[in-house]
Structure 1
Amino acid sequence: MKISELIKYLEEVAPLTYQESYDNSGLIVGHPDNEISKAMISLDCTEEVIDDAIRKGCNIIISHHPIVFKGLKRFNGNNYIERAVIKAIKNNIALYAIHTNLDNIVGGVSSKIADKIGLVAQAILQPKRGLLRKLSVYVPRTHVEEVRKALFVAGAGAIGNYDECSYNTIGYGTFRGQDGANPTVGKVGIQERVEETKIEVVYPVNRERDILLAMYATHPYEEVAHDIYTIENSFHKVGSGTIGNLSEPISGMEFLAYLKEKLHLKVIRHTHFHDREIRRVAVCGGAGGFLLSDAKRSGADVFITSDFKYHEFFDAENEIVIIDIGHFESEQFTQELLMEIIKKKFVNFAVLLTEIDTNPINYYS
C-alpha cells in the first residue's frame, strides 16, 4: 500500500493536532505516494534501527520519538541525527514519528502502562483545552434533519459518553439576493423571510474539515450562514497522563515489587512512602514532571513517570510518592501498542518490532 494509507489511519487514531507545540510528529522522510510493503516499529530511530530495517526489507520505520525535532541546516553526517536521515534517504526508507499525539489520547502511551499494572476506572490526568470548536449553522426548516444528521456522521455532537448532541433554536432569517445571486428561496432584489433553525454542535478541531464539507454538501443555500467558535472547555478524551485505581490497596514496598515485575524494571527511584497505602495511581510515559500538581489534585497516592531531577523530588512534599522508572522504561510498551493499533486495521500488512535496544542508559548492579 501507499504510505498515505497507513499514516491516514494513524492520524485518525492520534491526530497531529494533538501533539505538543515543540514536537515534530508526522512523516519526516519519504513521500506519501511511495509504496510500502513492510514496516518496522521502534521507540527511537537510530542508525542501528535503520540497519535493522535494511536487513529485514522494511521500507518504513514508525518510531515514537522523532529523529528530527528541530530544523537541520546541514547534512554532513556529523551527528547521529544527520547520519540516520542520510542513511534512510539513501536506502529509500520512510521515517514516521507518532510522539506526543500518541501520548495525548485515551488508549495511548500512558494508558498502556496503566493497563500493564492493572489500573481500573482510568481517565486523562490533565485534559487539554482549546481543542474543541462549536459550530452554529442556520438551516431552513425543510433541511434541518438532513443537515443535522450529516454533521453527526462527520463527527460533530459527541460530548463525553454521549453522541448526537445538539442545541436547536427556532427563528427566522432574512436575506436579499444581489445581482449575480442564485437564491434557493425567493427572487433577486426582494427581501425574503424564511423560518430557520440554528443548529449548534461541539466537535474536536481535527474533525473540522469533514464537518464543514458535510454541512456544505447538505445545506440548500448558495451562501451558508454559519459561525465557528473556539471554546476553552476541557476535552476529556485528549490530554497528558492517566489516573486510575488498583483493584485493592497494597503497601508501598509491595507496590514497588509489583511494578518491577509488571514493567520489567531494573531500578526504581522514589521518594518516601511514610507507611502510605497505595490505591490511586497517576502515570505518565516519558518526562512527566510537569504533571505533578495534577497528580496531587487527583488524589493519587503515587505518580509514576521519569526524568525527575534531584531537587524536583522534594516537590513531593510528603503529599504523594514520586516514582521515577526511567524514560525508556516508561515508554517501552509503546512498540507493542503501535503493533496492536496497526494490526487492528491492516491485518495482512507485515509489521515487525525492531530487535535493537535503543535505550542509551545502562545499569550496573
Structure 2
Amino acid sequence: MTVQNIIDHIETLAPLSYAEGFDNVGLLVGNRSTKVTGVLVTLDTLEAVVDEAIEKKCNLIVSFHPIIFSGLKKITGKNYVERVIIKAIQNNIAIYAMHTALDNMFDGVNGTICNVLGLENRSVLIPQKSTIKKLTTFVPIANAELVRQALFNAGGGSIGNYNNCSFNVDGTGSFKGNESSNPQTGTKGVLHFEKETQIGITYPKHVEKGILQALFASHPYEEVAYEITTLENMNQHIGMGMVGELPEAMEEIKFMLFLKEKMNVSCIRHSALLNKPIKKVAVLGGSGAFAIDNAIGVEADVYITADVKYHEFYKAENKIVIADIGHYESEQFTKNLLVEQLKKKFHNFAIILSTTNTNPIKYL
C-alpha cells in the first residue's frame, strides 16, 4: 500500500478539481511512492498530531485543513507551520489535505452536519458553476455502441439518479485525407462520405481525462472529431453549504438547545430570535458569513455556520437567525467521515482517528 493508493481513493470521494481556487490541497509533504505503515486522520495537522502519528506508527497524515496555505520562502522552525513541516520531513511522514474539495461534496462536510441534525430534502446552498461538461463526437454507425459504452464506463452519461444517458443522431460525415493520412475507411486523397452517429453525453468535469482516454482508445478514426462544451446547467450535487428541513418544526429556543446537544457545543453566538418556528435549515461548515444572503435567498429559518463577525450579524435583517457554533465545532465530525470512508476501502489496514484536540479556541 503506497501513499498514492490512499490518495487515489480519497480523490474519488473528493476530487481536487472541485476545490476552491484560493485553496492549497493535495499531497503537501512526502513521496507518493512511499509504502504506508498507517494513516492518521485529523482535522488539523499540528506538532502534537505529528507526535501522535509517530507514536502510532503512521507515516501518512490525512488532514482536512492544509497546514501549508500560503507560500513558504524559508523553513527554519520560526512558527508552528514550519515546525510541523520540519518534524514531518525528519520522520518521513507524508501529509495530505483536501479541505474545500470535501466542502463541495454533497456527502462531505455539510452533508455530515445534515446527518447529525437529521435534515431531510437536502440540496446544495451555493452550487458550484461550470462543473458539468458535454462531449459531442461523431462515430461510424457500426462502432457507435462500442464508443458509447466506453464513454459510459469512464463516467460519462450520468445525470442525477440516472446513468448511461446519451443523445444519438444518425447522419452522414465527410472527410478527405491528405497523402500523410491513414484512413480507417475510404481512400487517402479521395473525398469520402460515411454513415455516422453523433453521440452527445454530459459528464462531471473531474472525469474529463478518463473520458478523453476512453474516446481515443475506442474510436476507430485516425483523427477523432469531437467537441467539448462547459455547460451553465446547475449541478445540485457540487457546491458550498446545504439546505434541508427538520422532520418537524421546532420552537427557536428548543432548536438552539437541540443544536447545542447535537453539535456538542458549549455556546452559540446568534442574531436576534424572530419568534417563529424553525423548519428550514441552511448549514455551511467553517467560515460561512459570505453565504448569509444565500441562506436568506432560499428562505431558510436559520443559518448554521462559523466565524461570523460583529457587523455580519446585522445581515440577518430580521429575515433569518444566524447561529455561529464555532469553526472547529462545525467541522468536528469531518474526520470521522474520512475514517469511515477509508475503512470501507482499506478494511484490513491501520486507519486511525486522531485523538488530538486541535481546536485553538477555548471557552471559560
What's the TM-score, normalizing by structure 2?
0.98
1:180 aligned residue: 180
Name the counterpart of 1:110: 110
How far 1:152 sits from its partner (Å)? 1.1
Equivalence for 2:148: 148
Q: CA separation in 2, counterparts of 1:164 and 1:268?
A: 46
CA contact (8 A) 2:76 2:82 kept: yes
What is the deviation of 1:331?
Answer: 0.4
After TM superposition, give the deviation of residue 36 of structure 1 in Å.
Answer: 0.4
- The alignment partner of 1:237 has SS state of coil
Distance in 1 separating the partners of 2:296 and 2:279: 14
Offset from partner CA, 1:152-206 (integer Å, 9 cap, x none): 1111111222222212222111111111211111111111000111111111111
Distance 2:335 2:218 in 1: 42
SS of the residue corresponding to residue 32 of structure 1 reads coil
Count, aligned residues: 364
- Per-residue CA deviation, residues 5-43 of structure 1 (Å, 9 max, x unaligned), is 000010011000010011111000011100002111111
Deviation for aligned residue 1:149: 1.3
CA shift for structure 1 position 321: 0.5
Pair 1:226 & 2:226 matched = yes
Q: Which residue of 1 aligns with 2:214?
A: 214
- 1:136 aligned onto 2:136: yes
Partner of 2:42: 42
* Aligned residue identity for 2:2: K
Q: Percent identity?
A: 48
**C-alpha distance in 1, partners of 2:279/2:28?**
41
Distance (Å, rounded) in 2 between the aligned partners of 1:293 and 1:200: 37
The yes-or-no answer on 1:267 pairing with 2:241 is no
2:189 matched to which residue of 1?
Answer: 189
Q: Distance in 1 between matches of 2:131 and 2:121?
A: 24
SS at 1:126 equivalent: strand
Give, as a single letter, the amino acid of the residue that structure 2 aligns with 1:30. G
1:77 equivalent to 2:77? Answer: yes
Q: Say whether 1:251 aligns with 2:251.
A: yes
Give the alignment's Cα RMSD to 1 decimal.
0.9
CA deviation vs aligned residue, 1:33-85 (integer Å, no higher than 9, x gap): 00002111111001111011111111011111000011110011111101100
Distance 1:179 1:13 in 2: 48
Structure 1 residue aligned with 2:337: 337
Give the structure 2 partner of residue 353 of structure 1: 353
Which amino acid in the other structure matches residue 39 of structure 1?
Answer: V
Question: Secondary structure of the equivalent of 2:10?
Answer: helix
Assess if the C-alpha contact under 8 Å between 2:274 and 2:321 holds in 1.
no
Q: Tell me the distance in 2 between the aligned counterparts of 1:291 and 1:311.
A: 14
Counterpart Cα distance in 1 of 2:261 and 2:316: 25
